[in-house]
Amino acid sequence: MPAKNIFRGILIMAMMIIVACNKKKTNGNGNNPPEADRRVVKQNLQHVWEILWGPDDHIWFSEREGKISKMDPSTGNIVFSSTINDVVASGEGGLLGMALHPDFINNGLLYIVYNYSSATGYREKLVRYTFVNNTIASPAILFDNIAASGIHNGSRIRVVSESTGVKIYFTTGDAANSSIAQDVNSKNGKVIRLNADGTIPPDNPIPGNPLWSYGHRNPQGLVFANNKLYESEHGPSIEDEVNIIEKGRNYGWPTVNGPCDGGEVSFCTANNIKEPIWSSGNSTIAVCGIDYYNSDKIPEWKNSILMTTLKDASLRQLKLSADGNAVLSTSIFFKSEYGRIRDICVSPSGNVYLCTSNGGNDDKIIEITKL
C-alpha cells in the first residue's frame, strides 16, 4: 500500500477518535451527555438566579438585576418579561429566589425574594405578586426588614400544600454577620416558614416566630422530595453542606462546619445539631440550586439530588439511599464547560435545565435530555 494511503488511513482514524471524544467527554467521574443531547435554549442573559418549571409548561426565571421572565422551553422565546424597579443589585444581592403558588394556574400567585435599599440600610423582603393578563401586579409584602449584604443573602423559596394549608419556606443567609445565625429572634441564617398570606403558622417550632430551622450560613438550594426538605449551603472555606431540614433543628453555623467532629462535638450534643447528609470536606465548591430527579428518562440519575455549583463550575449528582436519608455516591458533570452554574429545574417529562451565572450578558439556559 502506498505510504500516502497509509498516512491517510491513520489520519482518518485519528479524526474519528477526536470526534468521538468530543461528542462524549469524560471528566474522571462519569460521562457527560453527547452534544446532541444538550441544547442551549436561551443565551444573552445576565446573572440568571432562579429557574423553575411552571404548571403552565413554561420556564420561569429571574435575573439578579431585577428581571422576571417566562420562556417557551421548546423555542427559547420570551413570552413575558417584567422588571421589579426597587430591586438593588449589589455584590451577590439583587433579585434572588422565586416560586409559584401550587394553584398558580387559577390564582396567578408568584413569590419573590429580593434586596433593596431603605432608610435603615440594605435589606431583603419576600413579596407576592399576581400574574394576570400577561403582567404582574398587586405586590404584597409578606416578610420584610431582613438584613442583607453584598454576600450571604440566601435565598431560595418553595411554596407547598400541606395538611394545614399552603406554606412558604424560604432561606435567609447570615448577611456576613455569622453570630446572628444562632439567634432564634433574628430573621437571618434561617429557614423561614410562613402561611401563604405571610402570617406565622401556629405549629412553627416557636410560637409567633417564623423560624423553622436555624444555624445556617448561606443556603442557596431548597427542594422537597421523599417527604423531606433538602437544603444546600455554602461553607466558609471548608464543608459545603447538603442537609435534611427538620422542624426546630439547629444546623450549627458558625460553631460547627459540616459533620460534628473534633472540638465541635460538645456544642453539637448541647445544641440539638442536625448533621449534613453530605459535605465537601476540606474545601468548598460553592454549592447552589438543587432539584430532585426521579424520572425514567435519565435512569442513571433516578432518585438523586442534582446540585449546581459555582466555584467548581459543575453539576453534581448525589445518589440517594432508598429512604432518602443518605447519599450513597456522587458524580460530576460539565466541569468547567459552562462556567458557574447557579440553578436547576426538572420538567415533568424528565428534561433537565441548567442556568449559568457568569455575569456580563452571555449567561445561558441549557437543556439536557439524556446521558
CATH number at residue 301: 2.120.10.30
CA separation, residue 266 to residues 199, 256, 275, 278 (Å): 36, 10, 13, 21
Q: Provide the pLDDT for residue 88.
A: 98
Q: What are the grid coordinates assigned to 281, written together?
A: 470536606
Q: Are 102 and 109 in contact (CB under 8 A)?
A: no
Residue 93 pLDDT > 50? yes
Question: Does any domain span residue 342?
Answer: yes
Cis peptide before 155 (omega within 30 of 0): yes
The answer to whether residue 154 is domain-embedded is yes
Tell me what the pLDDT averaged over the chain comes to. Answer: 93
**pLDDT one-digit tens code per residue, 289-340:** 999 999 999 999 999 999 999 999 999 999 999 999 999 999 999 999 999 9
Question: What mean pLDDT comes out for the span 176-182?
Answer: 97
Reported as a single tens digit per residue, the pLDDT across 181-193 is 999 999 999 999 9
| In contact, 363 and 61? CB cutoff 8 Å | no
Tell me, yes or no, whether 26 lies in a domain.
no
Q: How far is CA 258 from CA 10, 276, 307, 357, in A?
A: 52, 6, 17, 26
Contact 218, 293 (CB under 8 A): no
Q: Is 30 a member of any domain?
A: no
Task: Specify the DSSP element, H or E, that contains 344.
Answer: strand 341-346
Q: State the chain's maximal CA–CA distance in angstroms.
A: 88
Residue 214's Cβ-side half-sphere holds a number of Cα atoms within 13 Å equal to: 21
Task: Give percent above pLDDT 70 in the chain.
Answer: 92
The total domain count for the chain is 1
Flag whether 184 is in a domain. yes
Average pLDDT over residues 91-95: 97
Summary count for the chain: helices (H), strands (E) = 3, 24
29: pLDDT strictly greater than 70:
no
C-beta neighbour count of 123 within 10 angstroms: 19
For residue 17, the model assigns a pLDDT of 45
Task: Read off the pLDDT of residues 196-217 as tens digits, 9 standing for 90 and up.
Answer: 999 999 999 999 999 999 999 9
* Domain membership flag for residue 202: yes
- Interval 111-127: pLDDT, tens: 999 999 999 999 999 99
Distance CA 236, CA 174 (A): 12
Is 99 within the bounds of a domain?
Answer: yes
The pLDDT of residue 179 is 95
The residue range of the domain holding 128 is 36-368
Handedness of CA 322, 324, 329, 334 (dihedral sign): positive
**Positive or negative: CA dihedral 40, 46, 50, 53:** negative
Contact in structure between 316 and 306 (CB atoms under 8 Å): yes
Note whether residue 14 is domain-resident.
Answer: no
